[in-house]
A and B are shown apart, each in its own frame.
Chain A
Amino acid sequence: MQATLDSSSLKPFTKALICLSKYGDELSIYATPERLSLSATNSSKSAYCRIKYEKEFFTRYRVADHQEGRNDQTSDNAENFTLTGQLLTKSLLSILRHRTIEKAVERCELSIVEGEAGNELGNEGQDGLESRLIVRLHCKHGVVKTHRLLLLTPTSLMAPGVPNNSNESRLTIGPKALKDMIEHFPVSKGVKADPQLVWSFGNDDVALKSLESSIDSRGKGQLSTELTISAEEFEVYAIDEPPTTIAFHLREFNATIAYADSMSLGMELRFTDPAAPLFIDVEGDCSEALFVISTSHVSSAGASASNHRRNVNTKKREREETPGQTTKIKRSMRVVQPSLAMERDQPNANPEPQSCAPSSTVCREFRQTDMPPPSSFPDDSSSMEKVQEPLFLPSSSQLSAVDEAVLRASGLEVGTMDELTEMLEGEGEEVVFGSTSQPPDLGQRCGFQGNGEDRFEIIDDTELGTTQSSYDRSKVWATQFPVDIMHDKNCTSDVPTSV
């Protein structure tokens, strides 16, 4: 995948990442030829956030161009081609949020290099799939900063459940109006504090009540707040069966408001019954954001006093999440499930689930379509240097030059071509050595040494092979394939071609 952001679209993109980071630590990337989708789920799976960007949002957007040739053979694959990855939101955000970014960056290129496409580090587990997200920032004065982030294989892509449309209530409101309302509810300074608000939607007015206001540091609510506002404050106010009361936590909701506010976009809130999650849509020109926040059920509307006493332990959200809890406030079910469980043909406005099979499946498909495997692998998980050179080169003169090159590129500790062939045959799968692979490390070296252009390339590996600790040699040998490396090509393709 390759996506280019210009300086004007970089800011909303960063804002989206900030919002996503408030939802969860892990960012899931899901790219199709038409759109790029980013999603995050909180640890207790009670909140989900997904922001989709149409390809028009980017100045340039391409997914899997180099696969196209191969995909001709299995033409249905070409259209459904998707790319998934997962990384820590913080690591990406720390690059894009840097204080000099706004002033200096003219263009930001995001590209995903897949493990199978010749990543030298792609040797984790049976699938040999370890992709990388490369963030290349083109700054003023020809400075180019390149960050390489390790992309993990998403364990399971999450997807929200489907709202039942029959009894849906819909509200539309601007983020500023909502912010003004929520500002009256003081949040204690503690990071852990995550107050809940009870919203009662009546015929003509809306009442907000603080369910937990642990403004006292010892967790005792010293202050309870209630706000009543006319329903006219909402642009659309269609409550299915007023009065309806729902309650939800503020942390993610505030992040959503901040996102909508930074984008100057209205928010559409949808919910069904008090136990079902709240859906929030924020739609922009080329972006579409969906937020799902689980709600808790408040049984009696007038029980504000008793609610206070009940909420002593609201700081511990996980515990509250337990579905078996039989107190008055019932936490609703998780808002997301692993998308595998989703029906493929669900008539839901949620295109991901059907195609977001775990990447192990994707990986299998690639092998059938002659995807070149990673060209080499690190010999030791702790040393990155060793990756770049095969440890042992055969001295035997029997080898042809081509064979030697293959061996060298493979980076495997094999002495002869025979050994190598044996290894390959042991795998039992037919492999064609593609010539399009791009081992990033080699390219990176060339970028430093052989590149005559007067530019700086700052390589900043913010994530170094974190997943390599579970390195198992026997497994790796079973899945690695040597690849013919064309050095020149790698050099030119890895180094940006324009300033």
Chain B
Amino acid sequence: MRFRATIEHVPTFFRIVQAIEKLQKRFLIKFTETNMHIICNSDANEGGIQVWSQIKLDSIFTNYRIQSNANNEITMVLPSEALLAALKSASASSPTSSFETEEVVMRLAKKNDQALLSFEISGLTRVGRKVRVAHDVKIEVMKPADVEKLSEPMCPEPDVHILLPPLQKLRTIVERLRPMSDILAVRANNNKCLQISIHTEGVKVETEWKDCVNPKTQEDNPDEPPEEARNPEELFTVLVSVRSFLKFLNSHVVSTTTIACICQHHCMILYVYIGDVADAGGVLTFYIPAIIDDEGR
């Protein structure tokens, strides 16, 4: 089992982990020959939120070498906070420090039978002298048999795709709603309309965006008549936990474009694109299961 890569875009990696860190103390990364998959699938997560992501190696790494008996794939369990700290130290100058990173090499290593993901950072101090920093993050390499058991959640064909407004803006609103309700209703139609609302005994708050884009999905174009047959004004609703929606919104640090899909009364899927959609370096896919309530508000 060999694994070594130079982290070319430390800030990108850092921000991805930053978004993940809020979600789970320990998470999985599956490195393959072409992609890095970040997986959060713990059952204990707030509202059952999961992340299944796929990030192109080129968007973060160079000099990538991987070798293993399991189809040249390595899956590891990492402590998110420790990984974040290592990447933070590797990020070039924070506002307070003027440390300059020259190269960051990530390696799979073993010390005293403990598997490590080791980060070797070489940089320059503010006066231009060389500094070497090494971080060893304790990890756990998963057995191929266990990796095979990992499975993405199943969901039907989404009823609606819609582009979300900038997550930062969405976040300010949802944060206001959070003290008032535990359940958030997200509604969207195929005619550029998105609504988020809460409805409790005491209060009803609704926010509506009128000008969201409904992206064309691949299936749209060829021969899917049902889309046309449906009334574009029809709103599809899903109820989700406010807290898990806020967890997803933490990814605003990394997002450029976010597409939300609603499978009515089933789940909500959010594709957070890293980099431009056209040339996306990767996508973090958040899966938030719906809260089923009798009225189906």
Residues of A within 8 A of B (CB): 176-177, 179-181, 183-184, 186, 188, 215-216, 221-230, 232-233, 305
**B192 contacts A by Cβ under 8 Å:** no
- Choose one: B99, B111, B127, B131; the contact of A228 (CB below 8 Å): B131
- Contacts A183-B99, A215-B81, A222-B79 hold; do A229 and B138 have CB atoms under 8 A apart? no
Complex Cα gap A188–B82 (Å): 9
- Contacts A186-B88, A229-B131 hold; do A224 and B96 have CB atoms under 8 A apart? no
Q: Using Cβ atoms and an 8 Å threshold, which residues of chain A touch B98?
A: 180
Q: Tell me, rounded to whole Å, the shortest Cβ–Cβ distance linking B110 to chain A.
A: 12
Q: Tell me, rounded to whole Å, the shortest Cβ–Cβ distance linking B202 to chain A.
A: 35
Complex Cα gap A181–B121 (Å): 13
- Choose one: A177, A181, A221, A223; the contact of B86 (CB below 8 Å): A223
- Choose one: B81, B89, B94, B136; the contact of A224 (CB below 8 Å): B136
Q: Using Cβ atoms and an 8 Å threshold, which residues of chain B touch A215?
A: 79, 81-82, 85
Which residues of chain B from 66 to 107 have a CB within 8 Å of any chain A CB? 79, 81-82, 85-86, 88-89, 94, 96-99
List the 8 closest A-B pairs by CB distance, nearest first. A186-B85, A223-B82, A222-B82, A222-B79, A184-B89, A228-B132, A226-B134, A227-B133
Q: Using Cβ atoms and an 8 Å threshold, which residues of chain A touch B111?
A: 305
CB-based contact B125/A177 at 8 Å: yes
Write the chain A residue with the least CB distance to B90. Answer: A184
Q: A184-B133, A188-B81, A227-B133 are in contact. List 19 more A-B contacts (CB 8 A).
A: A177-B125, A180-B97, A180-B99, A180-B126, A181-B131, A184-B99, A215-B82, A216-B79, A216-B81, A222-B79, A223-B82, A223-B86, A223-B138, A224-B136, A225-B136, A229-B125, A229-B129, A229-B130, A230-B131
Which residues of chain B from 119 to 177 have a CB within 8 Å of any chain A CB? 125-127, 129-138
Q: Tell me, rounded to whole Å, the shortest Cβ–Cβ distance linking B136 to chain A.
A: 5
Tally of chain B residues near chain A (CB < 8 A): 27
Residues of B within 8 A of A (CB): 79, 81-82, 85-86, 88-89, 94, 96-99, 111-112, 125-127, 129-138
- Contacts A177-B126, A184-B89, A186-B89 hold; do A225 and B79 have CB atoms under 8 A apart? no
Q: Tell me, rounded to whole Å, the shortest Cβ–Cβ distance linking B37 to chain A.
A: 21
Q: Tell me, rounded to whole Å, the shortest Cβ–Cβ distance linking B94 to chain A.
A: 8
- Choose one: A177, A223, A230, A305; the contact of B130 (CB below 8 Å): A230
Q: Using Cβ atoms and an 8 Å threshold, which residues of chain A touch B126?
A: 176-177, 180
CB-based contact A223/B96 at 8 Å: no
Q: Using Cβ atoms and an 8 Å threshold, which residues of chain B touch A179?
A: 96-97
A-B contact pairs, 19 of them (CB 8 A): A177-B127, A181-B131, A183-B89, A186-B82, A215-B81, A216-B81, A222-B79, A222-B81, A222-B82, A223-B82, A223-B86, A224-B135, A224-B136, A225-B86, A226-B133, A227-B134, A232-B129, A233-B125, A233-B127
Complex Cα gap A221–B137 (Å): 9
- Contacts A180-B99, A215-B82, A216-B79 hold; do A222 and B138 have CB atoms under 8 A apart? yes
Among A183, A225, A305, chain B packs the most CB atoms within 10 A around the CB of: A225
CB-based contact B132/A227 at 8 Å: yes
Complex Cα gap A229–B82 (Å): 22
Q: Tell me, rounded to whole Å, the shortest Cβ–Cβ distance linking B76 to chain A.
A: 13
Write the chain B residue with the least CB distance to A223. Answer: B82
Q: Using Cβ atoms and an 8 Å threshold, which residues of chain A touch B85?
A: 186, 215, 223
Among A221, A223, A305, chain B packs the most CB atoms within 10 A around the CB of: A223
- Choose one: B79, B125, B132, B136; the contact of A180 (CB below 8 Å): B125
Q: Using Cβ atoms and an 8 Å threshold, which residues of chain A touch B97?
A: 179-180, 183
Q: Tell me, rounded to whole Å, the shortest Cβ–Cβ distance linking B258 to chain A.
A: 29
Complex Cα gap A228–B135 (Å): 12
Q: Using Cβ atoms and an 8 Å threshold, which residues of chain A touch B133?
A: 184, 225-228
Q: Using Cβ atoms and an 8 Å threshold, which residues of chain A touch B138?
A: 221-223
Complex Cα gap A498–B82 (Å): 58
Q: Tell me, rounded to whole Å, the shortest Cβ–Cβ distance linking A228 to chain B.
A: 4
Q: Using Cβ atoms and an 8 Å threshold, which residues of chain A touch B86?
A: 186, 223, 225
Among A179, A183, A184, chain B packs the most CB atoms within 10 A around the CB of: A184
Q: Tell me, rounded to whole Å, the shortest Cβ–Cβ distance linking B80 to chain A.
A: 10
Q: Tell me, rounded to whole Å, the shortest Cβ–Cβ distance linking A227 to chain B.
A: 5
Complex Cα gap A292–B98 (Å): 28
Complex Cα gap A216–B134 (Å): 18
CB-based contact A230/B129 at 8 Å: yes
Complex Cα gap A228–B130 (Å): 9
Q: Using Cβ atoms and an 8 Å threshold, which residues of chain A touch B125?
A: 177, 180, 229, 233
Q: Tell me, rounded to whole Å, the shortest Cβ–Cβ distance linking B211 to chain A.
A: 41
Q: Using Cβ atoms and an 8 Å threshold, which residues of chain A touch B134?
A: 225-227
Q: Using Cβ atoms and an 8 Å threshold, which residues of chain B touch A186?
A: 82, 85-86, 88-89
Write the chain B residue with the least CB distance to A231. Answer: B129
